[in-house]
Amino acid sequence: MNDCLHPLIQQRRSERIIDPGKTVEPEKIMLLLEAARWAPSCGNRQSWRFVISRGRLLDELKNHLSRGNNWGRNAPLIITIASKADLGCQIEERDYYTLDLGLAMENMLLQGVHLGLIMHPIAGFDEAGVKTLLGIPGEYRIHALLIVGYPGSFSDVDKRTLDKEAMPRERKSIETFVFWEQWNDVNNHE
């Protein structure tokens, strides 16, 4: 069945080894944003907001990455992904804006794979510090930072990052998260 899965989905991986000397071209940044723009969203509200960091604030933004994301300091581009609940739909007390964000981000990730870019979303950052630095209003949540760049050299990274990169790309079996017809835990282990 995997031979029918789209190659962009099969190739997408959250890689960490980025060439610090190669910038992402403006036209490729616009293609990433265009991909997000065409993502489905509840009521076509497009509740996502992006802050593109590639210039004067990029180095300061990197200071807000968690220690586990130090590899991201090589990135020539970081996209901050933010939103707030009232930008999206709420149906029967279900907020759809986070789903909209995920759909937009996945479009960006797949477009990035197509363009030969490393696209690695992270949650390890100081949200308050990033909001202050980038002037993001207090009522917004930053849901992820998207680390973007071109593949780099394995010789330029620490052993911890190399070990993570060498790990096989594995996924849970479908049986662990799918129920057929009715919810039960016969086939599930969690």
Q: How confident is the model at residue 12 (pLDDT cuts 50, 70, 90)?
A: confident
- 142 forms bridges with which residues in the sheet? 82
**Average pLDDT value over all residues in the chain:** 90
Both tokens assigned to 1: 């069945």
Residues 6+ apart with CB under 8 A from 158: none
- Residue 125's SS3 state is strand
Instruction: Count the helix, strand and coil residues of the chain and give each as a percent rounded to the nearest 5.
Output: 40, 20, 40
The share of the chain scoring above pLDDT 90, in percent, equals 62
Q: What is the pLDDT of residues 95-108, one digit of tens each?
A: 889 999 999 999 99
Q: Who wins on pLDDT, 49 or 152? A: 49
Both tokens assigned to 42: 């509840």
Task: Note the pLDDT of residue 170.
Answer: 82
Strands 141-149 and 118-122: antiparallel
Is the pLDDT at 156 greater than 90? The verdict is no
Task: Note the pLDDT of residue 30.
Answer: 98
For residue 139, how far is the Cα from the chain centroid?
21
Q: How confident is the model at residue 122 (pLDDT cuts 50, 70, 90)?
A: very high
Both tokens assigned to 64: 């807000």
Backbone angles phi, psi at 183, to 5 degrees: -70, 125
Q: What are the extents of the domains in the chain? A: 2-153
Domain 2-153: CATH superfamily is NADH Oxidase (3.40.109.10)
